[in-house]
């Protein structure tokens, strides 16, 4: 198959699934909140919500493309916790406060005084990661790639999420004063090279993209530490599990997204890996004994 056609097809799939989060479905009843808040509330975007076309949760708002086997559900199952999973694909930080689309309540509405555990994974959409990765790196590969024409606006956009992220951590603490907040970062997407499954992505651009996720991790880790949250590093456990890894072990689907149909998004293996790290962090924090 023509690699350029494969790239276009993969990008169309990604655009179609992401667009699902904004489709004008008939308004659905917003997900009810537990009185006082659930014991465990999961907040975030597609990095926490989805495994793409695999194990789609038909009981959740379809625009959220939420999985029955995402990391929050796996954590809740392992720890025996009552979970209110509000994660939703395409979510940005403002969607924590207001309805993302009809039928999807503000994610923070799930919090309350009974909430003991909150997991948070959000910020990539606010930093417009998809725009730069697909527009500058993949689309620009034929003309030299994104590393060779670095756009300082990308770094500025990543850094700019810090005030809103900090305010969100403070608001979570206000609404759920008994909760411990666990912030999980972005695992390894790419190492220092590319691979055929990335359909022409230049090796230098692979490393460049990963450096931007590293910057995003630095921002949220700093804010987590400043606001009493627990930052869960997911990079150290995944250096050889990115999109160019063997399909049996990779944590993210590449452009040829044969497991999820959603490039740059977690596989079931990836969600399991993050769930293990979150579970270990929750257990070691002592919050379950309080």
pLDDT value of residue 35? 64
Confidence of residue 16 (pLDDT cuts 50, 70, 90): very low
What's 70's DSSP letter? S
- 255 against 5, higher pLDDT: 255
pLDDT value of residue 26? 40
Confidence of residue 120 (pLDDT cuts 50, 70, 90): very high
The span from the CA of 267 to the CA of 274, in Å, is: 11
DSSP strand E in 23-121: where? 40-44, 83-85, 117-121
Choose, from 46, 67, 194, 238, the residue flagged as catalytic.
46
SS3 of residue 40 by DSSP: strand
What is the separation of C-alpha 101 from the centre of its chain, rounded to a whole number of angstroms?
Answer: 18
Q: Is residue 28 part of a domain?
A: no
Q: Is residue 115 part of a domain?
A: yes
Q: Is the pLDDT of residue 15 over 90?
A: no
Whether residue 265 lies in the annotated active site: yes
Residue % of the chain over a pLDDT of 90: 83
Q: What is the CATH number of the domain that holds 243?
A: 3.40.50.1110
Least confident window among 12-16, 88-92, 198-202: 12-16
CA proximity to 202, closest of 212, 194, 210 = 194
Choose, from 89, 90, 121, 265, the residue flagged as catalytic.
265
Confidence of residue 179 (pLDDT cuts 50, 70, 90): very high
Mean pLDDT of the chain: 90
Q: Is residue 258 part of a domain?
A: yes
How far from each other are the two terminal CA atoms of the chain, in whole angstroms? 58
Least confident window among 97-106, 135-144, 269-278: 135-144
Mean pLDDT of 67-76: 98
Confidence of residue 75 (pLDDT cuts 50, 70, 90): very high
CB atoms within 10 A of CB 82: 12
Q: How many domains does the chain have?
A: 1
The pLDDT tens digits for 28-71 are 445 656 668 899 999 999 999 999 999 999 999 999 999 999 99
What's 33's DSSP letter? P
Q: Is residue 282 part of a domain?
A: yes
Least confident window among 12-16, 70-74, 128-132: 12-16
The pLDDT tens digits for 129-164 are 999 999 999 988 878 999 999 999 999 999 999 999
Q: Is the pLDDT of residue 22 over 90?
A: no
For residue 122, give its domain range: 3-23+33-289
pLDDT value of residue 251? 98
Whether residue 46 lies in the annotated active site: yes
Q: Are 20 and 62 in contact (CB under 8 A)?
A: yes
Least confident window among 3-7, 43-47, 279-283: 3-7
Q: Is the pLDDT of residue 8 over 70?
A: no
The span from the CA of 30 to the CA of 106, in Å, is: 9
């Amino acid at each position: 198959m023509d690699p350029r056609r494969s790239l276009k097809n993969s990008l169309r799939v990604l655009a179609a699934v992401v667009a699902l989060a904004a489709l004008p479905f008939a308004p659905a009843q917003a997900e009810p909140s537990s009185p006082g808040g659930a014991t465990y509330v999961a907040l975030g975007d597609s990095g926490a919500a989805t495994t793409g076309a695999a194990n789609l949760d038909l009981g959740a708002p379809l625009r959220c493309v939420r999985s029955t086997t995402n990391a929050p559900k796996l954590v809740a199952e392992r720890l025996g916790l009552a979970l209110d999973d509000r994660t939703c694909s395409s979510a940005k930080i403002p969607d924590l406060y207001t309805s993302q689309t009809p039928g999807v309540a503000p994610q923070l509405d799930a919090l309350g005084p009974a909430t003991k555990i909150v997991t948070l994974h959000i910020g990539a959409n606010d930093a417009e990661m998809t725009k730069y990765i697909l527009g500058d790196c993949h689309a620009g590969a034929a003309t030299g790639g994104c590393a060779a024409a670095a756009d300082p606006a990308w770094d500025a956009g990543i850094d700019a999420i810090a005030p809103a992220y900090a305010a969100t951590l403070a608001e979570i603490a206000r609404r759920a004063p008994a909760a411990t907040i666990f912030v999980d970062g972005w695992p390894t997407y790419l190492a220092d090279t590319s691979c055929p499954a990335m359909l022409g992505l230049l090796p230098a651009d692979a490393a460049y993209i990963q450096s931007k996720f590293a910057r995003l991790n630095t921002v949220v880790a700093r804010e987590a530490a400043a606001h009493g949250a627990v930052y869960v590093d997911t990079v150290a456990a995944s250096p050889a599990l990115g999109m160019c890894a063997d399909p049996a072990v990779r944590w993210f689907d590449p452009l040829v997204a044969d497991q999820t149909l959603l490039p740059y998004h977690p596989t079931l293996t990836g969600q399991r890996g993050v769930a293990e790290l979150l579970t270990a962090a929750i257990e070691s924090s002592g919050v379950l004994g309080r």
